[in-house]
A and B are shown apart, each in its own frame.
Chain A
Amino acid sequence: MISYIGSFLILLALLNASLLVLSKPVLSKITSGYDALILSTSKLQFPLVLIAFICLIISFVDDDFSLKYISSNSNSALPFFYKISATWAGHEGSMLLWCLILSFWTFMASIYSKSLDIQFRIKFLSVMGFLNLGFLLFLVFTSNPFEKNISIPIDGKDLNPLLQDFGLIVHPPMLYMGYVGLSVVFSFAVTCLLQNDFKKEWARWIRPWALMSWSFLTLGIALGSWWAYYELGWGGWWFWDPVENASFMPWLITTALIHSLITCEQKSMFKNWTILLSIMAFSLSLLGTFLVRSGILISVHSFANDPARGAFILLFLTIVVGGSLLIYFRNSPKIKDNISFDFFSRESFFLINNILLVTATFTILLGTMYPLFLDLLGLEKISVGVPYYNAVFLPIMTPLALLAGYIPILFLSKNKDKKYLINHLFMSLLVILFLSFFSMIFFDNFNFSTLLGVFIFIWISFNIIYDLIKRYYVSNTRNVFFINIGMTLAHLGLAVFILGATIVENNKIEKEIVAKIGETIKIKNYAFKFTNLSQYEGPNYTGIKAQFLVYENNTLITELYPEKRIYASNDMPMTEAGIDPGLSRDLYITLGSLINDDVWSIRIYHKPFIRLIWLGALMMVLGGVLSVLSKRKRMKIAPLR
């Protein structure tokens, strides 16, 4: 019953979105009240899809196996919370979540766009409506979560055990908030093109949206990385998997975008470039969806090979990307750009920042798409190895990270002469180099990458904090502090992330050994004693739990319980890692497989400072959110128009 309401509401939402799209071109010729219609339909979209989504959740909780989607993604024995999260664990439900979030952003855009010119606002919301319509059509025709089963099964197939986890509950919604948030930026850019103009005030209006999407994207990617780390049992945090790349590319472009928007707003520069970046960012998030959802890439993210879905998204992608680029090349020459700037200015370094980020994106794009093209052409089956990404990506990112610490110095020397700048640069470099070399005594063995990581960490954090203090003293108002704290925190986050990533990748210890009960394994000053093995029954699985006593310098510090689980519904074994987290190191144990009797193969990892990776990401997220808040505050001081 509930599911019929859901189906009906989806159709209503489809109708509503069509009204939103068609009002402007069709009704504007007949009546003048079309703008009120656009404003109300753009708000109505959200409640319609939200109730449909709630209907799907209720159907999951009620074990309504008459729905195909539920019978293939849930099971009556599934714990309550996973029944709720299963709503967006499969393809159809996650597309409904996508539509929900899209309608949410449309709603927000409709509410907060009052300050924009009415003609602009109407066009802007119509473009958003077009995106809503496209995705709803996709949902209804290729992936309807409310589709009925022909015969009702007694019980469902169960959710993929890998996805029965807290990480999954939060990872997709956050990532989608980021992906779809970019649709606001995209629609805005397209509207600018349609209006043949990109005003300073508009750049100021759109930046918080870009920042918000960026923050969500960062959080979503970080959660995905954290989930992969503890759930997949390999102890890695980034695999350069095509699916990860699909989320990382829009992130890089959005990072470039939030920097170029500053220049747009303050100096009226890079307008066309910024519009192009906005189009690229959303196009890449659509491309990501296409790659993940079409089944071209087989991974935990793709659920079934359905050519119709791939074809639809490809068509939609072509219309959206092709259409927007066409408008871009037709109209962008009409937008006047201010292009004179000094080489030693913030603007030119923002340009370098943008070039590096876009280059990095294209190297990833090449590594991700090239194998697919070769395969589609039937020439060769290849994949691009991880060493490619490391070899190409790191040299591009190193100058970028150095730049992140250099730009603040440039800013504070704005009114001083070049000599001051060089002195400051020279002195700080000397001190930081000394500090980084000094810190090497804390590592067992010296290597250049670690040194570089530590150097970059101190370099960025020193300069960025110095910058904040200096700005505060120069202006001596508390406002300056609030306006800049977000930026400072986000860059500190980057520094912390770089520190964590370089230390863990260059100093981790990974052991794969065979052990039986009673044996002790030693790593550095840690000893792991394999003491016990027991079997137990979980709600929908049977588990084998091992017990390890962990000693640090011969004192017991903790007990770890890595597990092996066999899920009843599909006879699939799963590894649950035993992790002792800590800021300075993680201890990580997983069970491999039974060799004979009580002999097991075991992985034991020592991962120094791995937590800094996610801590850094969280700082970036917080920094982004604080920036949005302070932007709003600043906007109140100087309202638009």
Chain B
Amino acid sequence: MKKRTLRIYYVSFILVALSIIFFLFIKTFNENLLFYRSPSQITAGEFPQDYIFRVGGVVLDGTLVKSKTSTNVKFAITDYEKKVDISYNGILPDLFREGQGVVIRGRLGADGVFYAEEVLAKHDETYMPPEVADSLKMKKKTIEDTTKSMSIY
């Protein structure tokens, strides 16, 4: 009898431990999912509030402003419908330039400016981040007129 109660304790302990681990795991997983939004969705208010997420688009010509004393930069990105202002403190990637597709991770401030933690524009000058390409796909003609970097699609 004693052995049996002991075993019941063991099994229930393991089950409880496993469910706690599983719960924590799912929680961590959920908290670290980064959603992707286009500028149009952000203007329409479709974005996770108070969470870090990603936004992508094409860097709008003539919007890049660099600070002369720090690594602060400001620019705007667009999906050719709406635009979002971006503020970033850090070094931009090599392939960052106006007219280039970028994906940015960060948080939307109360002032409507997106505060970036990381800016990605990588590897290839003809490269368009797939998310950006997707959100631009519907307006294909505009894109063909505007940027040559869509040639892979």
The interface of chain A, by Cβ under 8 A from chain B, is 160, 162, 233, 298-300, 304-305, 363, 366-367, 380-385, 387-388, 391-392, 512-514, 564, 570-575, 592-593, 595-596, 599, 601-603
Contact = CB atoms under 8 A, between A and B. Distances in A.
Contact of A593 (B69, B91, B123, B124): B91
Most buried by A among B34, B69, B94, B127: B94
A290 to B, nearest CB: 17
Contacts of A391: 28, 32
Contacts of B89: 512
Given A233-B94, A514-B70, 6 more contacts: A299-B123, A382-B33, A382-B36, A383-B36, A387-B28, A514-B67
Interface of B: 25, 28-29, 31-36, 52, 54, 66-71, 89-92, 94-95, 122-125, 127, 129-131, 134, 152
A384 B28 contact: no
A570 B125 contact: yes
B25 A392 contact: yes
B17 to A, nearest CB: 13
Contacts of A233: 94
A596 B69 CA distance: 10
Given A305-B152, A512-B71, A572 B125 contact: yes
B6 to A, nearest CB: 14
B32 A384 contact: yes
A114 B130 CA distance: 51
A298 B127 contact: yes
Contacts, number: 88
A574 B35 CA distance: 29
Closest 8 CB pairs between A and B? A388-B32, A592-B91, A381-B36, A385-B32, A573-B94, A391-B28, A383-B34, A382-B33
B32 A387 contact: yes
Contacts of A596: 66, 68
B94 A575 contact: yes
18 contacts: A160-B124, A299-B123, A300-B123, A382-B33, A384-B29, A384-B32, A385-B33, A385-B52, A387-B32, A512-B90, A513-B70, A571-B125, A574-B94, A575-B94, A595-B66, A595-B68, A599-B68, A601-B91
Contacts of B131: 381
Given A381-B36, A595-B66, A160 B123 contact: yes
A388 B91 CA distance: 25
Contacts of B25: 363, 392
Nearest to A300: B123
A251 B34 CA distance: 27
A337 to B, nearest CB: 23
A470 to B, nearest CB: 34
B91 A298 contact: no
